[in-house]
Amino acid sequence: MTVFQQEHLLFTPATAEHNAIPAIFAFPNEYTIGITSLGFQIVWATLAMRSDLDVRRLFTDLSEPLPRNPELLGFSVSWELDYINIFNLLESLDIPLHNIERQDHHPLIFGGGTVLTANPEPFADFFDVILLGDGEDLLDRFIDAYQQVRQANRETKLRHLAQVPGIYIPSLYEVTYYSPDGEIKAIAPIDSDIPAEVKKQTYRGNTLSASTVVTEKAAWENIYMVEVVRSCPEMCRFCLASYLTLPFRTAPLATSLIPAIEKGLKVTNRLGLLGASVTQHPEFEAILDYLSQPIYQDVRLSIASVRTNTVTEKLASTLANRDTRSITIAVESGSEKVRQIVNKKLTNEEIIQAAINAKAGGLKALKLYGMVGIPGEEMADVQETVTMMSAIKQAVPGLRLTLGCSTFVPKSHTPFQWFGVNSDAKKRLKYLEKNLRQQGIDFRPESYNWSVIQALISRAIAV
């Protein structure tokens, strides 16, 4: 059986019409990772439910049988460092990397997702079409508009697509600079028929996404994912997940979440509640009560993001009773000063209380997530992170503690977008490593060098 035959679909793909548009929809990483992306799943299902498209999936390690002459090739881009895989896949299909080198017989290369919406410019030379914002509505408008000009030449197609709100056609805009190696002066359309501004699309409905496919080959085997909230009202000043997708939206429990959860639990017992700030849902307690019912006692529950001061004993025991052993909280720093700088409304007492509640509820481990190199951070602040971790260890002996730590990377659309990567971050990661491991606290740093590259790709500027 192929991996595709092992999938359990929660939607009905359309049968392609005889003149359906041959299309490829790609995820620039392995199948296991791509199929665990809710965004990828949703876009693929939306395309596959159209009878006027014959869409096949492509990953870096495998694919469905691909059309010989695709007209459209799309990428879902959710991680900057996947950029190299986009180039590799284009090369493997004999498609020129640069949009200006493509001709009429080449497919239109389109893309969407967090990375491209946040800042399409670093990718502007490589994509023909970039979809900005939420895919609901926009994706169908894109395909409908493409159908209207399907027989036209490449330039006519692109000019027509440029009229659709939310569609950015980079080759129809000219970038001017203050100096050859300096800042951008303007990005202007090449003529007056092209919109001067492309507006990011925001979905206003109140039904959020849920998995369209469940498979044991997913990174979290057989997980069914439900998007509980979109964006986050906390607005920490570095946070793309909050700013890019504002306003904060929540799926209503009775009319949206429960039907979605029930649908998924018919085919699997593994449930993931997704969103930047799941525990901020106004009916979160009711969600926990609902999932605590005896009929769901075999359900394995994972929650994507838990705000530290919402880790109650009840939440911890619900998770522990649903086969979860640990919980992750983002604290950013042990320094109250740094947390104030980033607008993280959290005290050390609340962090310690979260650890106490986690243990009291029956969880075995607590993972904290922090950053170094936040603007305004000094060495004394990093020392405070060590002090805070020691205090947690003393307060909850026996609870396994891990600190995952990255380097601050500036992201477009956030208030911190103009800051660079702090070159002292590397030293600070080493300091944490030495001082935490000495105390038996697990420390998992993310690569400083890759953070620098990520910053270059996110912002397209030197750091």
Give contact residues for ligand SF4 (rule: CB under 6 A): 232, 234-236, 239, 241-242, 276-277, 307, 330
Number of H helices, E strands in the chain: 15, 19
Is 454:118 a contact under the CB 8 Å cutoff?
no
Q: Compute the least distance from the CB of residue 247 to ligand SF4, in Å.
A: 13
Cβ nearer to ligand SF4, comparing 374 with 452: 374
Instruction: Encode burial over 206-215: b for 16+ CB neighbours within 10 A, e otherwise.
Output: eebbbbbbbb
Least Å distance, CB 230 to ligand SF4, is 11
Q: How far is the CB of 309 from ligand SF4 (least distance, A)?
A: 10
Least Å distance between CB 233 and ligand SF4? Answer: 7
- CB closer to ligand SF4, 307 vs 459: 307
User: Tokens standing for 158?
Assistant: 């692109």
User: Of 56 and 307, which CB lies nearer to ligand SF4 in the complex structure?
Assistant: 307
Task: Give me the least distance between CB of 235 and ligand SF4, in Å please.
Answer: 5
- Residue 290 CA to residue 306 CA, distance in Å, equals 18
Cα separation values, 136 from 43, 204, 301, Å: 9, 9, 27
DSSP-assigned letter for residue 199: P
Residue type, 417: Q
C-beta of 109 vs 311, nearer to ligand SF4: 311
> Mapping DSSP to helix (H, G, I), strand (E, B) and coil, where does residue 196 land?
coil
Crossing angle of helices 313-321 and 348-360, rounded to 10°: 40
Q: Output 22 or 334, the one with its CB closest to ligand SF4.
A: 334
CA distance linking residue 147 with residue 21, whole number of Å: 8
Identity of the residue, 232 or 401, whose beta carbon is nearer to ligand SF4 in the bound complex:
232
Query: Shortest gap between Cβ of 185 and ligand SF4 (angstroms)?
Result: 32
Answer whether 161's CB lies under 8 Å from 142's CB: yes
